[in-house]
Structure formats: C-alpha cells, structure tokens
Amino acid sequence: MDKLKSDILNTARTLFTKYGLRSVSIDDVCKQLRISKKTFYLYFKQKEELIEQVVINIHEQSKNKSIDCWDKEKNKNIIDLLMNSDKGIKDSADEEKKNFTLYYDLEKYYPQIFEEELERGQKERIEIMTKIIKRGIAEKLFRSDVNIDLMSQYISLQFKTMMTIRRNKKKIAHQQLFDLLRDIVVRVLANEKGMEYYLTNYYNKKAI
C-alpha cells in the first residue's frame, strides 16, 4: 500500500476512534497530516469511502491475527488451543473497547458500511471455525461425521448471538461468554477420545 494512503488511514482511524465519525472531518485528517484536500482526494473520493477503508483495514488486521493464532502453534492439539486462547480473548475485548466509539457511530450513521462489516466478520468466523473443525478431525479428537460447513456456520452464529447478549448486558464479561462458548464447541464436536481428554484436562478443573 502507498505510504501516504496508509498514513491517511491510520490517522483517520486514530481520530475516528477518539472523537467519533461525525466529529472528524476531512479537513481534520488533512490538518493532522499536513496535506492538502487535493492530495487527499487523490486517494479517497469522499469521507464515506475513507470510513469504509478504515473499517476494512481494521478488519483485515484483526483477521490476520486470528488466523495466525490458530495456524502457528503446531505442538498443541486443537482442544489445548481452544482452552488456552485467553490471550486472544483479552486482545479481542481490548480491541472492541478501543473501537467502541467508531463502531457505535458506524451503526448509527453509516448502516450500510456497518452491515457489510458484520458480513465480513461472519465470513471470517466461519473460515476460522472451519479450520478448527478440520484440524480436530485430523487429530482424531473431533467427530468425523460432522457436516463441517453447517457446523461452522452454526457455531459462528452462536458467537454472534453471545456478543449481542454481552452488548445488551454490560456486566457479562468477555471471558465468561468465551468460556461458555468453548465448552459448547467441544461438547458438540468432540468424539469419545476428545471428550475424555477435555474432561480430564480442563472441565473437571474449572467451573464453566
């Protein structure tokens, strides 16, 4: 990506996150970078396009982190990875908190961009869940008779529902919801060997 375009996106993201989408103008972004509006328009036709690209950029960075999390550790089995993903949970919670103002304004003032982002998030969760299920089957810890496509979609929808619950009931912690979701995922997918491993190493040692 062109360095100046990257600088515009990063600066806009910082301002949007801090002050909200409606409070930040193209002039504010240009002033921060000390560039002219003419230069800005070489990269973005209007503010809405800038917002859309900022949101896509945030999503891609988050997606790459999530995929790396499941791909990089080959020395752990899939149940170990699921049950030791607390850092990913904390990072996700921190990212949600950091971008709260941006996404609140996005849903309120730019509903089409917001809906497109929800669709991207859903596709990403399905992609990651598909990787998880296939790995669990390959390791002979998950059932081999499962419909991978349908199950990936089902679990990703459960994740989306839980996040909605959390937004509506602020006292429910990210960790609490993820612990419940992980328990559900393992119980739905694990075969006899996987269930025995899970109960012995995790469930009997921690209340879900």
DSSP label of 81:
H
Q: Which of 144, 147, 128 is nearest to 136 (CA)?
A: 144
99: phi then psi, degrees, rounded to nearest 5: -100, 15
What digits encode the pLDDT tens for the residues 58-106?
998 887 776 666 666 677 899 999 998 776 666 776 777 788 899 999 9
CA distances from 180 to 62, 183, 184, 208 (A): 22, 5, 6, 6
Decide: helix, strand or coil at residue 190. strand
Report the half-sphere exposure of 179 (CA within 13 A, side-chain side).
11
Helix 3-19 / helix 47-71 crossing angle, nearest 10 deg = 100
Decide: helix, strand or coil at residue 142. strand
SS3 readout for 104-160: HHHHHHCHHHHHHHHHHHHHHHHHHHHHHHHHHHHCCCECCCCCHHHHHHHHHHHHH
Please give the angle made by the CA atoms of 196, 202 and 203, to the nearest 5 degrees. 80
Q: Which two tokens stand for residue 144?
A: 């081999």
Band of residue 119 on the pLDDT scale cut at 50, 70, 90:
very high
Instruction: Say how far apart CA 190 and CA 27 lie, in whole Å.
Output: 55
CA distances from 34 to 28, 30, 157, 183, 204 (A): 10, 6, 44, 51, 59
**R_g of the chain, CA atoms, integer Å:** 20
25: phi then psi, degrees, rounded to nearest 5: -105, 170
- Average of per-residue pLDDT values in the chain: 88
The pTM for the full model equals 0.82
What digits encode the pLDDT tens for the residues 125-145?
899 899 999 999 999 999 999
Q: What percent of the chain has pLDDT over 90?
A: 61
